[in-house]
Structure 1
Amino acid sequence: MKAAILPDFGQPLALEDVPRPVPETDEVLIEVEVCGVCHSDLHIAHGDLPGFRAATKPRLILGHEVVGRVVEKGAAVVDLAIGDRVGVAWLHWACGECEPCREGLENLCRRGVVTGMMVDGGYAEFMRAKASHTLRVPDGLAPEQAAPLFCAGVTVYRALKNAQVRAGQRVAVFGIGGLGHLAVQVARAFGAEVIALDVAESKLALARELGAAATFNVTDPDVLKAVRKLGAVHVAVVTSAAKAAYDLAFKCLRPGGTLAVVGLPAEPLQFAALGIVSNEARIVGAAVGTREDLRAVLALAAAGQLQCRVETQPLAQVNEALDRMQRGDIQGRIVLRCC
């Protein structure tokens, strides 16, 4: 089969012929239709995050936003059938036994395995996956639409869920890219009034099209004053990887507001303790999401409340797709067609 292999950190992916994987007893073999391109793939490929670098297997096949069809299954698999359209996410497997798993936090499993980093992912014609963590894709949801939900969609969903967004609240989304344009839609599905902020007018136009009540270009020196004039925000979710976005987002919080951390700047975030204490501000993170979260996101999409803006490219153009992501030259998400 054809697969895009990472020869070593910092090198372009190489399209190679490799053996087709054989599923274990508790696994399925998936013929990959599409696989989304995620910013985490860049971090893994570059080896620029120590935790990712240490966990990355040699000669890795990247990709953790996978949609395809089951073509083989192990003897112990009973809940999936040959021909089922399914998706595979960042969480390849969780033990179900450690304390986080028992508390419903399987995404924080201490023995968890990550797709497209610790095991091979979906930048290939076929991949194997644990049947227990392979989810059916709803009928009527196109594979290109479904794939980005398995990371980008579920991550912003969990961020807003962890921030306890309620109907009628003001939610600011910083960065209307691949994750941010989904965050706008999820926040609206929660009943929030959305304020979108970005440096690009084209992305602000997209946010308005998706239902943002107000949009601001962060290069405007009066942007903070404008957000505060609206009453500041109950929740600020930052999908940008720019530290400056976090600095501004924190200042936009109303008393008792919550900052939701999604984007990963290279430098540490810094907030004054007095600012946190005096405002009773909360800071929450989102480590992708659980299978329960994924089912909720897929249901939103199936109901027409969540639609990803996607471009499709063939697997052979994977390096071009990663280069465009590095440059920030993507409106929405890129999805690789693998078969």
Structure 2
Amino acid sequence: MTHETVTLAWVVETPGPMASAPLRRVRREVPPPGDEELLIEVHACGVCRTDLHLAEGDLPPRRPRCTPGHEIVGRVLAAGTAVRDFRPGDRVGAAWLAGTCGVCPYCRSGRENLCPESRYTGWDIHGGYAGHTVVDARYVYPLPEGWPEDELAPLLCAGIIGYRALLRAELPPGGRLGLYGYGASAHLTAQLAVAQGATVHVLTRGEDAQRLALELGAASAGPATASPPEPLDAAILFAPAGELVPVALTALDRGGTLSIAGIHLSDIPSLNYARHLFQERTVRSVTANTRADGRAYLAEAARVRPRVHVQRYGMAQADRALTDLATGKVNGVAVLLPD
């Protein structure tokens, strides 16, 4: 194929605080797709806290001057010779998981998210803070028509990882769920849990986030360090704040589970066994997702049709969007759209 193109793309030039301007916008060649790849024209890309961790150096770079972004909605411009499921013009989504080995014990047992050779969009391969990108077709999702692109984009990570975190929390039917932090992922997960019959209590800093939580169906919303109005059957920690781990464990009822959804977490203070863990309370981490998680969540989202609270930015404003995320100025989700 001869679909080589040049695109404007943001790259992480020198990881550091957003005030140090770690991102730079450059012109970059986009190669034609390989046999099992797709060339995608980016129509929207969600801004994830993981992008912020990469820009600021909380996560070490895996590829020099990599383009962030892993909540990509776009159209196929060209498909490799071995691609059978997609063709030019199809609406598709590319998410965080970009590749696995397929042969390790984890891949063979349905736990490809734990593959030691897993690769990630915007970390190992160039992502969606660009006009075009190339991705492995085997890790791409078909997306429905008739759904706004800026509302679809956050589903591809914030939605999927929230779905996996909810599964890991093992919330019983009709149970009481606490959500610590209320950003992109939490506001989608809360709506899914409510639709499944749960009572959701949101604990987060910021009155705007608390108001949004109540608007979207939460039974209560208060400060992150406050006690919920009733014991919790399960909790999910979305905020990258290790000091909230003992807070959330204290709020759990007997037998409850705390699921930690972030890829990065500040240090956890020492725990008191009797107060935090005894009576079979459990702490579980969440590592990426499987493609089965992605398909299952997108099917659930089509059924529930969550309200996605979007703050829109032009692609040229990617650095501003990440700065706003870092300073708590994003209420809901930030999404980049073509200039």
TM-score, length basis structure 2: 0.92
Which sits farther off after the overlay, 118-127 or 16-25? 16-25
User: Please, which runs of 5 or more residues in structure 1 have no aligned partner?
Assistant: none
Match of 1:256 in 2: 255
- Which string of whole-angstrom CA distances, capped at 9 and with x for unpartnered residues, describes residues 141-194 of structure 1? 221111111111111110111122232110011111222211211221332111
Q: Is the contact between residue 35 and residue 338 of structure 1 (CA under 8 Å) also seen in structure 2? A: no
> What are the residue-to-residue correspondences of 1:44-59 with 2, within 5 Å?
44-49=54-59, 53=60, 55-59=61-65
Match of 2:274 in 1: 274
Match of 2:310 in 1: 310
Q: Is the contact between residue 233 and residue 252 of structure 2 (CA under 8 Å) also seen in structure 1? A: yes
User: Please, which runs of 5 or more residues in structure 2 have no aligned partner?
Assistant: 1-6
State yes or no: 1:106 paired with 2:116: no
Pick aligned residue for 2:141 from 135, 144, 147 = 135
State yes or no: 1:244 paired with 2:272: no
Q: Distance in 2 between matches of 1:41 and 1:318?
A: 10
Match of 2:28 in 1: 18
Q: Distance in 2 between matches of 1:291 and 1:70?
A: 19
Match of 1:288 in 2: 288
Q: Is the contact between residue 192 and residue 304 of structure 2 (CA under 8 Å) also seen in structure 1? A: no
Q: Is the contact between residue 165 and residue 187 of structure 1 (CA under 8 Å) also seen in structure 2? A: no
- Which string of whole-angstrom CA distances, capped at 9 and with x for unpartnered residues, describes residues 44-74 of structure 1? 112223xxx1x52011111111110000011
Q: Distance in 2 between matches of 1:290 and 1:200?
A: 32
Q: Is the contact between residue 22 and residue 56 of structure 2 (CA under 8 Å) also seen in structure 1? A: no
- Which string of whole-angstrom CA distances, capped at 9 and with x for unpartnered residues, describes residues 32-52 of structure 1? 001111111111112223xxx
Is the partner of 1:60 in helix, strand or coil?
A: coil
Q: Is the contact between residue 181 and residue 224 of structure 2 (CA under 8 Å) also seen in structure 1? A: no
State yes or no: 1:163 paired with 2:173: no
1:157/1:269 CA distance change after superposition, 3 Å: farther
Pick aligned residue for 1:184 from 176, 187, 190 = 190
Q: Structure 1: which amino acid aligns with 2:56?
A: H
Match of 2:338 in 1: 338
CA displacement at 1:276 relative to structure 2: 5.2
Number of residue-to-residue matches in the alignment: 328
CA displacement at 1:82 relative to structure 2: 0.9
- Which string of whole-angstrom CA distances, capped at 9 and with x for unpartnered residues, describes residues 5-28 of structure 1? 222222432212111221111101
Q: Distance in 2 between matches of 1:42 and 1:214?
A: 29
Which sits farther off after the overlay, 329-338 or 182-191? 182-191
Q: Distance in 2 between matches of 1:239 and 1:151?
A: 13
State yes or no: 1:297 paired with 2:297: yes
CA displacement at 1:118 relative to structure 2: 0.9
- Which string of whole-angstrom CA distances, capped at 9 and with x for unpartnered residues, describes residues 262-305 of structure 1? 24332235423334552201111222311111112212222244
Match of 1:28 in 2: 38
Q: Distance in 1 between matches of 2:313 and 2:324?
A: 12
Is the partner of 1:303 in helix, strand or coil?
A: helix
Q: Structure 2: which amino acid aligns with 1:80?
A: F
State yes or no: 1:39 paired with 2:49: yes
Q: Structure 1: which amino acid aligns with 2:265?
A: P
Is the partner of 2:318 in helix, strand or coil?
A: helix
Is the partner of 1:19 in helix, strand or coil?
A: strand
Q: Is the contact between residue 195 and residue 213 of structure 1 (CA under 8 Å) also seen in structure 2? A: yes
Q: Distance in 1 between matches of 2:329 and 2:309?
A: 14
Pick aligned residue for 2:211 from 205, 220, 239 = 205
Match of 2:100 in 1: 94
State yes or no: 1:69 paired with 2:59: no
Q: Structure 1: which amino acid aligns with 2:173?
A: A
Please provide the CA RMSD for this pair. 1.6
Q: Distance in 2 between matches of 1:237 and 1:156?
A: 9
Q: Distance in 1 between matches of 2:161 and 2:269?
A: 20
CA displacement at 1:248 relative to structure 2: 1.3
Q: Distance in 1 between matches of 2:151 and 2:305?
A: 12
Is the partner of 2:30 in helix, strand or coil?
A: coil
Amino-acid identity (%): 38
Is the partner of 1:141 in helix, strand or coil?
A: coil
Match of 1:148 in 2: 154
TM-score, length basis structure 1: 0.92
Match of 1:123 in 2: 129
CA displacement at 1:218 relative to structure 2: 3.8
1:327/1:191 CA distance change after superposition, 3 Å: same
